[in-house]
Structure 1
Amino acid sequence: MPALSMFFGIIIYMYHELGGKHNTPHIHAEYQVYEAVISLDGELIEGELPRKKLRLVVAWIEIHADELAANWKLLSNGEAPFKIQPLQ
């Protein structure tokens, strides 16, 4: 799945689950050897990121909440998501 956004070495993904739907809307964030799943409410679901990077991701989620919700809906309908602006 292509990345939704990339900033400060963090790559953000949102996946479509084949054959079913995820329960909680969320993103996947990767930074170096770290991986985390974070809800669209900014809660860490699983994995880990360095504290400063996690704060950046949560800030990005807050700024782009509407776009993330729209992407979640697109993926739930089997459509492709769109790119979202990175933090600058």
Structure 2
Amino acid sequence: MPSISMFYGIIVYMYCMDSKQHNTPHIHVRCQGNEAVVALPDGEVLEGELPKNKMKLLQAWIELHQDELMADWELALSGEHPYKIDPLR
């Protein structure tokens, strides 16, 4: 599973061909021993949990990169590797 971004201890992944697990566009996130699946583009947690302060950072990042994330989702659905996305600064 390729990571597409890392910032403030948050690692964001997007699987290729991952529409079977969840029917909505999403990312997988790991942070401080926690894991979550987060919907795109709204940032709703579908599964798991993250610390609240990290979740706020992740949601800000998602808002800034909505178009890139949705483009990466389309690539992943077609079996291609998604592109890296700039971290939150």
TM-score, normalised relative to structure 1: 0.92
Large movers: runs of 4+ above 2 Å: 17-22
> Quick one: which amino acid aligns to residue 35 of structure 1?
E
Q: Unaligned stretches of 5+ in structure 2?
A: none
Shift of 1:78: 1.1
1:19 and 1:46, CA in 2 relative to 1: closer, same or farther beyond 3 A?
A: closer
Q: Which fold has the larger relative contact order, with Cα–Cα distance below 8 Å and residues 6 or more apart in sequence?
A: 2
1:79 and 1:31, CA in 2 relative to 1: closer, same or farther beyond 3 A?
A: same
> Quick one: which amino acid aligns to residue 32 of structure 1?
Q
Q: Unaligned stretches of 5+ in structure 1?
A: none
Shift of 1:19: 8.8
* Partner SS for 1:37: strand
1:28 and 1:51, CA in 2 relative to 1: closer, same or farther beyond 3 A?
A: same
> Quick one: which amino acid aligns to residue 16 of structure 1?
C
1:86 and 1:18, CA in 2 relative to 1: closer, same or farther beyond 3 A?
A: closer
* Partner SS for 1:49: coil
Q: Specify the alignment match of 1:5 in structure 2.
A: 5
1:21/1:76 contact within 8 Å kept:
no
